[in-house]
Copies of this chain bind each other. A is one copy, B any other.
């Protein structure tokens, strides 16, 4: 049985980029942010998050820097780059297009 918290594939990068628009955050905070703003409907697993952050840093969409968290623990802060901001635009548009297309099919008159 699938978990209801499974993400739609292809949306994780977009969600992370979107979370970072408000400013640099560390991985753990990104996780909680997505969980909270989605009203607990979305739960990103750590095993998905960290590889994604790596991928995205390699792509140049985000930039990492070690720092200290609010709780005085070492944490890696990720910040959106210019390329990341552009990528967010692309993915966001793509998402809207897909959403619309699927809803066209779903709402097609019987």
A residues near B (Cβ < 8 Å) are 4, 6-11, 14-15, 18-19, 21-22, 34, 37-39, 41-42, 92, 94-95, 97-102, 104-106, 108, 110
Contact = CB atoms under 8 A, between A and B. Distances in A.
A102 B18 CA distance: 10
Residue of A6, A15, A34, A101 contacting most chain B CB atoms (<10 Å):
A101
A38 B47 CA distance: 34
Majority secondary structure, A binding face: helix
10 contacts: A6-B10, A8-B11, A9-B9, A11-B102, A22-B110, A39-B104, A41-B97, A42-B102, A95-B102, A95-B106
Contact of A105 (B10, B18, B97, B98): B18
